[in-house]
Amino acid sequence: MTPNDERDGERDPNRGRPQTEASYGIPDSADGALPWAFVAERMRDARNYWVTTIRPDGSPHVRPTWGVWVDGTFHCGGGEGTRWVRNLARNPEIVVHGESATEVVILEGQAERINHETASSELIDELDAAYETKYDTPHGTPFFAVRPTVVFAWSDFPTDATRWEFDE
């Protein structure tokens, strides 16, 4: 992995190539790997996202959602009684995938509940404003912040397949 020169938010990702047992033709060299700006732009500009959480029995639960990309973090929200929010209460592991299957961005990480008790009013106001600007409707709390630990992206697989890892 090599440090990525581009920043988004406060965390610096290390950029490299996905590691698989079968090569799928993914180059070993970082030459041609995507810049972090590719991830930030796709996450910022997508209208819909797919979110995968883990059910109590360990099986995956996938659903579409709306969300906003603020300071290098994906934020989304849902009702307390929904299956995916109940899943996150038990296990914060989450995968977020942008809606495109040709300009792919996949975030893996943990979701953290953001509300008036856990975050500053400034952050809540910033998230609400971003949500209202994007979807023309207010959001309200709670939000979930998904800070990625690993991100995969590509637009011309396998030549530009890229993996970013974040230091904890």
Give the number of domains in the chain.
1
131: confidence class by pLDDT, cuts 50, 70, 90: very high
**pTM attached to this predicted model:** 0.85
Q: Could you report the per-residue pLDDT of 97-111, keeping only the tens digit for each?
A: 999 999 999 999 999
Domain CATH code at residue 162: 2.30.110.10
Average pLDDT over residues 129-154: 90
Residues 6+ apart with CB under 8 A from 96: 49, 50, 51, 52, 67, 74, 76, 106, 107, 109, 146
Query: Rounded mean pLDDT of the chain?
Result: 87
Range of the domain at 17: 2-166
